[in-house]
Structure 1
Amino acid sequence: MEWEFAQVAFSRELSRGVVAKLLVERAEHGGWELDRVRIGNDGIRRVVLRRKIIRAVRTA
């Protein structure tokens, strides 16, 4: 199985609820799922999202 990854960073000014809504929107409309969340000493949330890469298979 192959995965596509995307990295997103959220400012410390954004509340936890706002970040959750943004991630839910990406999950519902883009097919992304949460892979990893890191909160740095500076308060920035660094999020890694992933989704499956679906390859089309030719039929003869």
Structure 2
Amino acid sequence: MAERTTAGRGDFLSRGGQYEYRTLTIPRTTDGNDARRMLTYEAEYGRWELARTRMYVGGERRVLLRRKIIRVQSTLGADLD
């Protein structure tokens, strides 16, 4: 049986991992339930995770989302012994 280890964010970055980022601006007229629903949708279907949330004086919210960039290596030229 293979041994499993839990890798944190620092471990992912130290192994050369990268994130892509997306900024959402939520207007002050949007209530909390609608904002939560929108962020839940992005997390479930877009594979985004919440990186930072800022609320400004006027009530506007800016949300920074991130997700891991996964690079796939081709196995077409690999020796299949």
TM-score, L = length of structure 2: 0.71
> Could you say what the CA RMSD is over the residues aligned between the two structures, in angstroms?
0.7
Name the one with the larger strand percent. Answer: 1
Cα offset for 1:57?
1.2
Matched with 1:31 is: 47
Deviation readout 1:4-39 (Å, 9 max, x if unpaired): 000000000111111000000011000000000000
Cα offset for 1:58?
2.2
Matched with 2:71 is: 55
Instruction: For 2:72 and 2:33, locate their aligned partners in 1 and report how far apart those are by CA, in whole Å.
Output: 37
Cα offset for 1:42?
1.5
The structure whose RCO (Cα within 8 Å, separation 6+) is larger is 1
The runs of at least 4 aligned residues of structure 1 exceeding 2 Å deviation read none
Gaps of 5+ in 2: 1-16
Instruction: For 2:62 and 2:35, locate their aligned partners in 1 and report how far apart those are by CA, in whole Å.
Output: 11
The counterpart of 1:45, out of the listed 40, 61, 68, is 61
Instruction: For 1:17 and 1:36, locate their aligned partners in 2 and report how far apart those are by CA, in whole Å.
Output: 18
Gaps of 5+ in 1: none
Partner of 1:23: helix, strand, or coil? Answer: helix
Q: Percent identity?
A: 40
Instruction: For 1:58 and 1:14, locate their aligned partners in 2 and report how far apart those are by CA, in whole Å.
Output: 45
Residues paired across the two proteins, number: 60
